[in-house]
């Protein structure tokens, strides 16, 4: 499983921030994605695509959209991929992407 996190969030004019977690080239299918913000699992604002298959390999993406206020209040965002009984957390600390 290859998980990519953005260098930073996409902040939209509407005042929301989006974080993207990409999974590609895994097999067998069945990868699950969850998001944790400052230690608490979140489900609101999460949109995870259906798995797509190409040549026996699978891919999917998951986007976490937060309000600007929530983005400003929180520090650590974790996308955790669960696949084949292995959990792979990818951490994004806000302080690492603000200049």
- The CATH number of whichever domain residue 7 belongs to comes to 2.60.40.10
| Residue range of the domain that includes 91 | 2-96
pLDDT for res 99: 47
Q: What tens digit of pLDDT does each residue of 27-45 get?
A: 999 999 999 999 999 999 9
Please state, rounded to an integer, the average pLDDT across all residues of the chain.
Answer: 85
pLDDT for res 83: 92
Q: Between the CA atoms of 31, 36, 42 and 46, what dihedral angle is there, to the nearest 10 degrees?
A: -50
Structural domain total, the chain: 1
| Phi and psi at residue 69, to the nearest 5° | -60, -45
CA-atom Rg of the chain in angstroms: 14
pLDDT for res 3: 47
Mean pLDDT across 69-88: 89
Confidence of residue 97 (pLDDT cuts 50, 70, 90): low
Q: Is the pTM of the predicted complex or chain greater than 0.85?
A: no
């Amino acid at each position: 499983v290859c998980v990519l996190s953005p260098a930073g969030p996409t902040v939209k004019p509407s005042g929301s921030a989006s974080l993207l977690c990409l999974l590609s080239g895994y097999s067998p299918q069945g990868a699950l994605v969850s998001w944790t913000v400052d230690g608490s699992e979140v489900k609101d604002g999460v949109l995870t695509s259906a798995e797509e298959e190409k040549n026996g390999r699978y891919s999917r993406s998951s986007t976490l959209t937060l309000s600007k206020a929530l983005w400003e209040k929180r520090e650590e965002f974790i996308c955790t991929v669960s696949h084949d009984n292995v959990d792979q957390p990818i951490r994004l600390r806000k302080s690492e992407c603000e200049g």
